[in-house]
Amino acid sequence: FNFGKLELEQLREKWKNFPLCMKIQYENLQKNHHLKHFSRFQLGLFLKGIGLSLTNALELWKSEFIKIMSEEQFIKEHVYYFKHLYGVVGAKINYRPYNCEKIQSQGVGHGQIHGCPFKHSDNHMLAARLAKDSVSNDEIEFILALKKEKDYNKACTRYLECVHSCQIGEDTVINHPNDYFEKACQADVV
Ligand code: SF4
């Protein structure tokens, strides 16, 4: 992963290339100006993995959080958390972005939005979200059938192909959100 290379302006342009699991977190951050712990961890590590530096990450989270709290409160209650995520304080663990297996294995309780939508969302919610991204009805049916077969990664790969008008290849499936992002960005420049 390329740490420290993605500027905030680029992020604001490229978030539409996020996989659905991260798009949902990012959209909710923009809408509610806050995310719960597991969502923050999932999205925060993904952003670190696609190259957002700690300085830019703090700027991003602060710009949303201070819409519902003071800057002093953000500094007091949240800055340490994000520094911890980047491994510069506390035990200084260099957390790696979660892969799909890890994201799909998490428990997602009522009112929580982290996890993999191809596994954790109900069919109705997932179909509505796919339609919002202009996925056709036939493709939605195909993706829901893959979900029913518990083939979540293949469903995600098909979503990528639909949204970015590309072919990933018969034998290739997305198994990491950061890989999804890279492939979506590549598809956009072809
Ligand atoms: Fe995210 Fe992986 Fe699920 Fe795709 S399959 S939405 S990348 S967790």
* 118 CA closest ligand 1 atom index: 3
Res. 2: pLDDT tops 70? no
190 confidence band (pLDDT: 50, 70, 90): low
Tell me the pLDDT of the chain averaged across its residues.
94
pLDDT digits (tens, 9 = 90+) for 14-53: 999 999 999 999 999 999 999 999 999 999 999 999 999 9
Q: Which residues line ligand 1 (CB under 6 A)?
A: 19-21, 100, 103-104, 116-118, 152-153, 156, 174, 177, 180
Instruction: Say how many Å lie between the CA of residue 146 and the centre of ligand 1.
Output: 13
Res. 6: pLDDT tops 90? no
Res. 188: pLDDT tops 90? no
Strand partners for 6: 52
The residue whose CA is least distant from atom 2 of ligand 1 is 100
What is the model's pLDDT at position 1? 46
Least confident of 6-10, 62-66, 173-177: 6-10
The residue whose CA is least distant from atom 6 of ligand 1 is 21
Distance between CA atoms of residues 172 and 190, nearest Å: 19
* 180 CA closest ligand 1 atom index: 7
Q: Tokens 């077969």 belong to which residue?
A: 149
pLDDT digits (tens, 9 = 90+) for 44-65: 999 999 999 999 999 999 999 9
The residue whose CA is least distant from atom 5 of ligand 1 is 153
Q: Which among 67, 70, 60, 62 has a CA at the least distance from the CA of 26? A: 60
Distance between CA atoms of residues 55 and 11, nearest Å: 14
Distance between CA atoms of residues 6 and 39, nearest Å: 21
Q: Tokens 């819409």 belong to which residue?
A: 67
* 159 CA closest ligand 1 atom index: 4
The residue whose CA is least distant from atom 4 of ligand 1 is 156
Res. 189: pLDDT tops 80? no
pLDDT digits (tens, 9 = 90+) for 74-113: 999 999 999 999 999 999 999 999 999 999 999 999 999 9
* Structural tokens at position 42: 């999932």
